[in-house]
Amino acid sequence: MNITTTALSHLGLVSGTFDELDIADLIDTTIPKNRNHNLSHSAVIKAMCLNGLGFNESRLYLYSDYFENLPTERLLGEGILPKHINDDVLGRTLDKIYEYGCTELFNQIVLKVMKSVPFGNHILHTDTTNFSLHGNYENRDPELNTIEITYGHPKDMRWDLKRYVLSMVCNQEGIPLFVETLSGNASDKTTLVKTIKKIQKNLELDDKVYHIADSAIYSDDNITELGAHTLWITRVPATITEVKDLQNTDVELEVCTDMRYSYYEITSSYGGMKQKWVLFQSKATKKRKE
């Protein structure tokens, strides 16, 4: 008697959540497969999610091997076998996602989930990261509507490698609500404010939302573009003259609830927009400088 075992592990929870939120129905309605097929686009995307969250990420051409020891019919659907999950099938789904728009499809999924699962969206963190790639990645057809894999500011300090940028917005629980890939030389000084404007347009947010970003967003033009009705929190760059003057002024600091810190509040109209600045002082930092 031959006995074969497969491991479900935590992937059962991932698959069950995918099904519970009806993500498959939205995907197959948005990017349907009309010809005869073993796997719908939603099943392929689900397989990618399982692989990405499987603690053992495999390249596209190794997907069949990855699923060999997993119960694919339980995870992906009746009749689906590891041999069906090959790089050709994955490639066709990725092409379809590209045609529709990666960010647009992600937005549709987020909107659906937001209506089903009550989670907060009144504090949104906007930031970027970038990923280095090995290879030439020559952009042979500049007319194509694609990002450019090129040299930029490497956060991994690999100046010798080309890269691409990922812009992301997460809520206060760390749940991604918006993602977009950008060219490797995209600047945070323009990307962050554009991302905030896009999420305001594409998602149904609460009336009072605080957008948090790093100091790259702080400039005259960006403050004007965000407007008076956008609430934001950031660190003001110390290169601004008004900040330098404040740091060199003898002000009376108030002790915070956390006794290790003190603060001083002031109103500024930098960039033509009324805003509150808070100067913080750390006892530990002050002691080190002394």
Sequence ranges of the domains in the chain: 11-100, 118-235, 236-290
- CA gap 170, 266 in Å, rounded: 29
Write the CA distances from 160 to 129, 163, 184, integer angstroms.
17, 10, 13
Q: Which residue has the tokens 């609430």?
A: 231
- CA gap 194, 121 in Å, rounded: 18
pLDDT at 121 (0 to 100): 86
- Please write down the HEC assignment for all residues of the chain: CCCCCCCCCCHHHHHHHHHHCCHHHHHHHHCCCCCCCCCCHHHHHHHHHHHHCCCCCCCHHHHHHHHHHCCHHHHCCCCCCHHHCCHHHHHHHHHHHHHHCHHHHHHHHHHHHHHHCCCCCCEEEEEEEEEEECCCCCCCCCCCCCCCCECCCCCCCCCCCEEEEEEEEECCCCCEEEEEEEECCCCHHHHHHHHHHHHHHHCCCCCCCEEECCHHHCCHHHHHHHCCCCEEECCCCCCCHHHHHHHCCCCCCEECCCCCEEEEEEEECHHHCCEEEEEEEEHHHHHHHC
Angle at 10 between CA 91 and CA 77, to 5 degrees: 50
pLDDT at 261 (0 to 100): 93
Q: Mean pLDDT per segment of 10 residues, for the chain of length 290 residues?
A: 76 92 94 84 93 76 84 90 90 93 93 86 94 86 79 91 95 92 93 94 84 94 91 93 89 90 93 92 82
pLDDT at 140 (0 to 100): 63
- For residue 113, which amino acid is it? V
- For residue 29, which amino acid is it? T
Strands 176-183, 210-212: pairing is unpaired
- CA gap 109, 123 in Å, rounded: 20
- CA gap 116, 85 in Å, rounded: 30
pLDDT at 42 (0 to 100): 94
pLDDT at 142 (0 to 100): 64
- CA gap 181, 168 in Å, rounded: 9
pLDDT at 60 (0 to 100): 73
202 CB-contact burial (10 Å; exposed 0-12 / middle 13-18 / buried 19+)? middle
**Beta strands across the sheet bearing 123-133:** 176-183, 162-170, 123-133, 210-212, 231-233
Q: Which residue has the tokens 């934001």?
A: 232
CATH topology of domain 118-235: Nucleotidyltransferase; domain 5 (3.30.420)
- CA gap 261, 250 in Å, rounded: 17
- CA gap 161, 158 in Å, rounded: 6
- CA gap 115, 111 in Å, rounded: 7
